[in-house]
Amino acid sequence: MLALKKTSTATQPVVIEEGCASLGVRGLLWNIASDSAESCRADISNKIESLKRLGVRRAHIVLQPDSNARSVLGDVAREVGFVAPDGEKVFIRALRQEPESVVTSLPGYTVRDGNLEHLLKIGMELQNQPELAFEGWEFPMVADGIEQEHCFFKVVEFDGQPVGVSIGGAYGSWGTISHTWVHPDHRWKHDSVQQPRLGQLLSEESLRALYKAGARRVYLMTTDSNEPAERFWSKQDFIESSAGFLEIDL
């Protein structure tokens, strides 16, 4: 069983400085100074250090299409170590209104906000799922995020045991779904019309949580080889993004 010490978040702010935030278990850099390569480089470095102090270990920069500053920002970001996600695709969904809840009567199932006990039970299972890229450093961040309104940790239980999970968070108008997973024994199959679509339930409840937290654009990443994930998220109205994403491991 995973041993995890719960730390207090009372003195640990979500936003370290303007333009630097934690989205669930990921970091996001925005509002980067771009009047010159030097100021851009200094601003990126400061924001990276701020995210490190928060405990974030992976951060993203969004290169908006048709932005005059995109070239300078991209060049400087790559210079300090950011790279284009290798073998990954970025999907984005706009949230123009709060998604309706699709949670109905599910015999034996319950969709709820997760707690530390859920994380301890399901955490090691998540690490063993290669399509999730869930890493050990995320455990304390998810644990801390349980008490923070900008994060979400949604769990599906079956007879009291967690069989599905979705993790992510929001800051400002941006949100991310970092991980969504349903145990193979509880996934919907074409020949089993009675089995509820737990992935869809988790997706909609996660999007509702993000909308309530202020997010109006939600992004996520899939690997090129993960065709089931691409089909699933496309059905949830996510589209492959034309925006450029760069990431760095801190």
Q: In what order do the strands lie in the sheet with 26-29?
A: 20-23, 26-29, 58-63, 244-249
* Residue in the structure block whose two tokens are 């640990």: 12
To 10 degrees, what angle do helices 138-145 and 116-127 make? 150
More confident residue, 192 or 185: 185
221-238, pLDDT tens digit by residue? 888 888 888 999 999 999
Residue 4, pLDDT > 50, answer: no
Give the pLDDT band of residue 11 (cuts 50, 70, 90).
very low
Tell me the pLDDT of the chain averaged across its residues: 84
How is residue 213 annotated by DSSP? T
Give the pLDDT band of residue 21 (cuts 50, 70, 90).
confident
CB atoms within 10 A of CB 174: 21
* Residue in the structure block whose two tokens are 């949670």: 103
Provide the pLDDT for residue 44: 94
What span, in angstroms and rounded, lies between the C-alpha atoms of 32 and 45?
A: 10
